Amino acid sequence: MKRQTVTAATVSPSRAVPPHIVCPEYAHTAVPAPYKLSCIKVKVDQIGRMRKACRFAREVLDLVLAAVRPGVTTDELDQIAHQHIIALGAYPSPLNYMGFPKSICTSVNEVVVHGIPDNRRLVEGDIINCDVTVYAHGMHGDCSETIFVGEVDALAKKLVQVTWECLLRAIDVVRPGNKLNAIGLAVEAHARQNGFSIVREFSGHGIGENFHMAPYVAHFYEPDNTTQIVEGMTFTIEPMINVGTAECVIWPDKWTAVTADLRRSAQFEHTLLVTADGVEILTGGREPWFLRQDNRNP
Ligand code: MF3
Ligand code: CO
Ligand code: CO
């Protein structure tokens, strides 16, 4: 049976945040603090708090991924995440970030990024990226994984596997002394070798006391981006890899980005801390879920 394309469905009202939760600066205004291109903040005293925020994000992402199965709606996944984030005493960073209406992003099949949870039910054969960011202890932690809904076709499996490998290869080059453009070089080489394309309009980003801050982290090779990677930087790497064209189209909701040819897209994301001799994966866990699914998803 031919796969149906994803269409806009019904979005439930934004979920409430109780008054005891400490909110980021945009929670009531929708306007984030200006992205400070000029200054890449190196974390020293914030590292402990960053570790906690990232550990929370990982815990919530695992809970969401455990709930993925045919028949579940993406709104139900949002509900699970929202409830648990509040229970942790944290704030779901996407909520009202530039007006985003929900607490996580759920991007199914040809949705590249920023899918809004709604009442669409997952169906066997879908792939879905769940992207969780939490604000806790004054810091943001951001991670995402793509997983299978039941049994998926061979090309979808290859796409998800290669996208995961792109993230691993990129993380491998993160160490002081290397340049930021080594990341895009690693992602681009591996994606191209496998016949896939790399989305250019969304990037990795510095993260910490703000959700998105300098540095900008491209997932394709940028010869001129010779910024040095230095100890104490915290940023994400989050390659979006497509089966077909790299081009994206944004839906009228101004958030949902889909591939222009409606072929599939996958993504993985970690928040990283640059250490003296390498990298600490702040949102790391066990192996990714798709590798554990082993074709046994109920
Ligand atoms: N978590 C996404 C990222 O990786 C950003 C989502 S912003 C939102 O950067 F507003 F769409 F939630
Ligand atoms: Co991110
Ligand atoms: Co994210």
Q: Is the predicted pLDDT of residue 257 greater than 70, yes or no?
A: yes
| Domain count along the chain | 1
Ligand 1 atom nearest to CA at 132 = 1
Asked if the structure places residue 275 within a domain, the reply is yes
Asked if the structure places residue 11 within a domain, the reply is no
Q: Report the pLDDT value the prediction gives residue 298, as an integer from 0 to 100.
A: 44
Range of the domain at 100: 44-294
Between 149 and 44, whose confidence is greater?
149
Task: Tell the residue nearest (CA) to atom 11 of ligand 1.
Answer: 114
Q: Report the pLDDT value the prediction gives residue 43, as an integer from 0 to 100.
A: 80
CATH code for position 212: 3.90.230.10
Ligand 1 atom nearest to CA at 97 = 10
Asked if the structure places residue 21 within a domain, the reply is no
Is 78 near ligand 1, meaning CB less than 6 Å away?
no
Asked if the structure places residue 68 within a domain, the reply is yes
Q: Is the predicted pLDDT of residue 20 greater than 80, yes or no?
A: yes
Per-residue pLDDT reduced to its tens digit, 167-178: 999 999 999 999
Task: Tell the residue nearest (CA) to atom 3 of ligand 1.
Answer: 142
Q: Is the predicted pLDDT of residue 37 greater than 80, yes or no?
A: no
Q: Report the pLDDT value the prediction gives residue 297, as an integer from 0 to 100.
A: 44
Distance 293 CA to ligand 3 centre (A): 22
Three-state SS sequence of the chain: CCCCCCCCCCCCCCCCCCCCCCCCCCCCCCCCCCCCCCCCCCCCCCHHHHHHHHHHHHHHHHHHHHCCCCCCEHHHHHHHHHHHHHHCCCEECCCCHHHCCCCCEEEECCEEECCCCCCCECCCCCEEEEEEEEEECCEEEEEEEEEECCCCCHHHHHHHHHHHHHHHHHHHCCCCCCECHHHHHHHHHHHHHCCCEECCCCCEEECCCCCCEEEEECCCCCCCCCCECCCCCEEEECCEEECCCCCEEECCCCCCEEECCCCCEEECEEEEEECCCCEEECCCCCCCHHHHHCCCCC
Q: Is the predicted pLDDT of residue 1 greater than 60, yes or no?
A: yes
Q: What percent of the chain has pLDDT over 70?
A: 97
Mutate to test the pocket of ligand 1, among 77, 96, 100, 107 (most ligand atoms within 8 A of CB): 100
Is 105 near ligand 1, meaning CB less than 6 Å away?
yes
Distance 76 CA to ligand 2 centre (A): 22
Asked if the structure places residue 163 within a domain, the reply is yes
Distance 91 CA to ligand 2 centre (A): 16
Asked if the structure places residue 17 within a domain, the reply is no
Distance 255 CA to ligand 2 centre (A): 14
Ligand 1 atom nearest to CA at 102 = 12
Distance 213 CA to ligand 3 centre (A): 13
Confidence of residue 44 (pLDDT cuts 50, 70, 90): confident
Asked if the structure places residue 265 within a domain, the reply is yes
Asked if the structure places residue 58 within a domain, the reply is yes
Mutate to test the pocket of ligand 1, among 98, 114, 140, 267 (most ligand atoms within 8 A of CB): 114
Q: Report the pLDDT value the prediction gives residue 263, as an integer from 0 to 100.
A: 98
Q: Report the pLDDT value the prediction gives residue 53, as an integer from 0 to 100.
A: 98
Task: Give the global pTM.
Answer: 0.97
Residues 275-280 have a mean pLDDT of 96
Confidence of residue 129 (pLDDT cuts 50, 70, 90): very high
Mean pLDDT over all residues of the chain?
96
Of the ligands numbered here, which is closest to the C-alpha atom of 237?
2
Between 266 and 41, whose confidence is greater?
266
Is 222 near ligand 1, meaning CB less than 6 Å away?
no
Distance 19 CA to ligand 3 centre (A): 25
Q: Is the predicted pLDDT of residue 42 greater than 90, yes or no?
A: no
Distance 1 CA to ligand 1 centre (A): 33
